[in-house]
A and B are shown apart, each in its own frame.
Chain A
Amino acid sequence: MRTTRFTVIGAVGTAAVLALSACAGGATNSTGAKGTIGTPAGTGKTITVWAMAGDLSPTTLNAINTKFTKETGAKVNLQVQASWEGITTKVTTALATSKPPDVFDLGNTQIPSYAANGGLLDLTPYKKELQQGNTWLTGLELPATVDGKLYGVPTFAGDRAVIYNKKIWAAAGVTEVPTTYQALIADLDKIKAANTAPDFSAFYYPGQYWYGGMQWVWDAGGDIATLSNGKWTSGLSSEKAQQGLNDFKTFQNTYSSVASRQVDIHKPEHTQMFADGKTAAILGIPTEIPTIKKANPKLTDADLGTFPFPGKSGKTQPVMIGGSDWGIAAKSQNKELALAWAKIASSPDIQNTYVFAKDGWIPNSVEYVKAAQATGLSPLITGFFAAALTSKSTPAAANWSTIEGDLSINQLFSSIASGAKSPADAAKAFDSHADSVLNGK
């Protein structure tokens, strides 16, 4: 794999594109008083932080907490929530109480609704201080911004790239990483021919995997929904989006097993499929690599590789920047301390040494990304950083989380993959549903 050339291109390219996108989407500072966070005295006080399991590692969280206690004297009551099931109910009810937890780890697709409905503290007066001279990634900052006001501090970013099994690829006669779509399908054809077990998938791509499915739509030039004059219009019926959906269907049906057409990535667990050798490649996030290695200790770093999914457009498929933002409860009893904590979580030291170096996530600002690339990215991480060059995010609508929660977007893709609905019909149904939800039905 041409790692070094990749890294160089990656470094220059990433900085350029991310900087450009950050510039374009940067929210202007709102008028109003500027506040200072500084270093509030907190001896004898305790703040409560709710983190989600699988986001930042315990090591990173402990590092933030230690630094925080050192600087302010206050302690941290860290609660790691192990399950996403029911988490919106849990967070919503917690935000409604008079003594809520102070800091929350909120998914960047869920934060718009908490922000728009008044559950979170307006951070705009502190924005400059929180940024600490850096430019945040658009995909993380935009969802946390409502009506020009900031409600969250970016935590980390993740995206999706192809994780592939070098051993299976080599056994089929493929040794070079594909950089174009044509090369990719040629490689997958070879792998498919070399592995004829009925439950083997050259590329395991569950039909409900909309994070991946959206990449096809974006690559073809389409979009989920656009905002104009305060109204959201869902766009999956557009010609370009339809092309993307058809491409998705063709790829999915050709290279992924029949059983995968209507499932999601968790049932069965796609990392498990990979670890069991039932597929040669999946589309995954950075933290799934340790999961795979744990599931099959025989797979080592040398056996795995990553690369961005090449798009039919000639560029890599645009990926969805996922990740979290730290939100502070509007009714928090320890606002200054919470702000200090969030500032530390966003500081260079934590972002570079822990969020990126230890956890393997993409750090929250353009400058940190550059710094990370300067240290030289490991082959396994390169793919994710390269993929992040071209990125998009889900609509920053207050009600977007409903679309994710009611699984209508999962159904869209799985009905197309299975053939239950044609791409045109599926998109029509989705568009009418999304139009009413996003516009506040």
Chain B
Amino acid sequence: MTSTPPIQETPSDTRPAKRDRRRRRKLHLGVNITAIVFSVIWAFPVYWMINTAFKSRPEVMTATPIFLSQHPTLANFIAAFKQSSFLLDLRNSVIVVSGAVVLSIVVGAFASAALSRFHFRGRRTIMVLILAVQMLPGTALLIPTFLVFNSLNLLGTYFGLILAYVASVLPFSIWVMRGFFVAIPFEIEEAAMVDGAGTWRILRSILFPLVIPGVIATSIFAFITAWNEYLVAYTFMKDQSMYTLPIWLASFSNPQTGTDFGGQMAASVLFSLPVVVFFLLIQRKLVAGMSAGAVKG
């Protein structure tokens, strides 16, 4: 939405209008310059990552940094691709991430529907607890979860790792989706009930579609958590054929095999690519969803 202030044109006085126009143009220029400067600064780290990834070895560590490679090469990417078990770990990450996203959405939707639409004792306590859980430091639950999963024989399985990620994403997803549920006016449900729809039907056709933005939010969060997570995956998975991509990226820094920053940057690009693509695809829906949600009332 390009917002330009409405031109105040009074028939008998044109000078304010001219002043306005000039001021508008200066403002426009100033705003655009700010945007350009901001974009350059904000995009710099990503640019540097990609730039280094394409440099040939002697160009990486130079006293004067090279801003555009003179001898660009794909060698770093090829080396990264061949490094230990890239494709295998990629596949594992995709499996775990898909599972985590789907499960978080399903379980989260049901749980938040229950919490927002049904009255039961202790509901308030549960809400506070869910909020509290989100405040735990990231690594705190590693050992307790390990001990619990160990007794349930969930270690070393895809399902176990997926559950671990769902557990960490669930509080947030319930919280977000509940917010959207709460915004749905009860009249809609009432109308459907009058029409004879059962509760299940109401959930499916009416309530769930209205919380799509919450679903998207959950899926982003689950995606990023499962894609980025290292320690739990490394600890819970026993067989190296089931390791995920962050472990691949860490192995790339293994001193024994000798790495250089060019290779590491290429690996980082490969590692970030799916997330970036996912975000770019989702972002339109995201903004649209957010706006739709905000328009209620």
Direct contact of A and B (CB under 8 A): yes
Interface residues in chain A, defined as those with a beta carbon under 8 Å from any beta carbon in chain B: 53-54, 77, 79-86, 89-90, 93-94, 96-98, 101, 197-199, 265-266, 268-269, 271-273, 276, 278, 287-288, 291-292, 294-295
B250 part of interface (Cβ distance < 8 Å): yes
Is the Cβ of A86 less than 8 Å from the Cβ of B230?
yes
Of the candidates A93, A101, A294, the one having the most CB atoms from chain B within 10 angstroms of its own CB is: A93
Interface centre among A54, A89, A265, A291 (most CB of B within 10 A): A89
Cα distance, A91 to B77, chains bound together (Å): 32
Asked if B240 and A81 sit within 8 Å, CB to CB, the answer is yes
Say yes or no: B239 contacts A79, CB within 8 Å. yes
Output the least CB separation between A73 and chain B (Å): 23
Contacts of A83 in B (CB 8 A): 234, 247, 250-251, 253-254
B residues 210-230 in Cβ contact with A at 8 Å: 230
How far is A292 from B248 in the complex, measured between Cα atoms in Å?
22
| CB atoms of B250 and A79 under 8 A apart | no
Smallest CB-CB separation from A268: which chain B residue?
A: B61
Chain B interface, number of residues (Cβ within 8 angstroms): 30
Cα separation A178 to B237 with both chains bound (whole Å)? 50
> With A and B bound together, what is the CA distance between A101 and B258 in angstroms?
28
* B-chain residues with CB within 8 Å of residue A292 when the two chains form the complex: 258
B259 contacts the other chain (Cβ, under 8 Å)? yes
The smallest C-beta distance from B156 to any residue of chain A, in angstroms, reads 9
Complex partner residue of A82 from B155, B230, B239, B254, CB under 8 angstroms: B254
Residue from the list B63, B150, B230, B255 in contact with A97, Cβ < 8 A: B150
Chain B neighbourhood of A295, CB < 8 A: 57, 258, 260
Cα of A94 to Cα of B258 in the assembled complex, Å:
28
CA of A278 to CA of B251 in the docked complex: distance in angstroms?
25
Interface mask (B185-207 → A, CB under 8 Å = 1, otherwise 0): 00000000000000000000000
Contacts of B259 in A (CB 8 A): 269, 272
Residue in B143, B248, B260 whose Cβ sees the most chain A Cβ within 10 Å? B260
Q: Are A80 and B250 within 8 A (Cβ)?
A: no
Residue B39 lies at the interface, judged by CB distance under 8 Å to chain A: no
| B155 in contact with A97 (CB, 8 Å) | yes
Judge whether B146 is part of the interface by a CB distance below 8 angstroms.
yes
Give bound CA distance, A295 to B143, whole Å.
39
Interface secondary structure of B, over-half rule: helix
- A160 nearest CB across to chain B (Å): 14
Residue contact A287 to B61, C-beta cutoff 8 Å:
no
Measured between beta carbons, the chain B residues less than 8 angstroms from A291 are 256-258
With both chains docked as a complex, state the minimum distance between the C-beta of A206 and any C-beta of chain B, in angstroms. Answer: 12
Question: Would B256 and A90 count as touching, CB distance under 8 A?
Answer: no
Which 3 residue pairs of A and B lie closest in terms of their CB atoms, listed nearest first? A54-B256, A82-B251, A291-B258
- A90: chain B residues within 8 A (beta carbon): 234-235
Most buried by A among B238, B247, B248: B238
Cβ distance A275 to chain B, nearest Cβ, rounded Å? 8
The answer for the CA separation of A98 and B238 in the assembled complex, in Å, is: 13
Taking A79-B239, A199-B63, A266-B253 as known contacts, 13 extra A-B pairs with beta carbons closer than 8 A to each other, sorted by chain A number, are: A53-B257, A54-B257, A82-B247, A85-B230, A89-B142, A198-B63, A265-B255, A269-B259, A271-B255, A272-B258, A276-B58, A291-B257, A295-B260
Q: Is the CB of A276 within 8 A of B61?
A: yes
B250's closest neighbor in chain A, by CB? A83
Contact (Cβ within 8 A) A86 B258? no
23 A-B residue pairings within 8 Å (CB atoms): A53-B256, A54-B255, A79-B239, A79-B240, A80-B240, A81-B240, A82-B247, A82-B250, A85-B230, A86-B231, A86-B250, A89-B231, A90-B235, A97-B150, A197-B63, A266-B253, A268-B61, A269-B255, A271-B258, A272-B61, A288-B258, A295-B258, A295-B260
Residue of A nearest to B241 (CB): A79
Q: Which one of A79, A82, A198, A288 has the highest number of Cβ atoms from chain B below 10 Å of its Cβ?
A: A82
Contact partners of A54 in chain B: CB under 8 A: 254-257
Q: Are A93 and B235 in contact (CB under 8 A)?
A: yes
- Beta-carbon contact of A86 and B235 below 8 Å: yes
Task: Name the A residues within 8 Å of B57 (CB-CB).
Answer: 276, 295
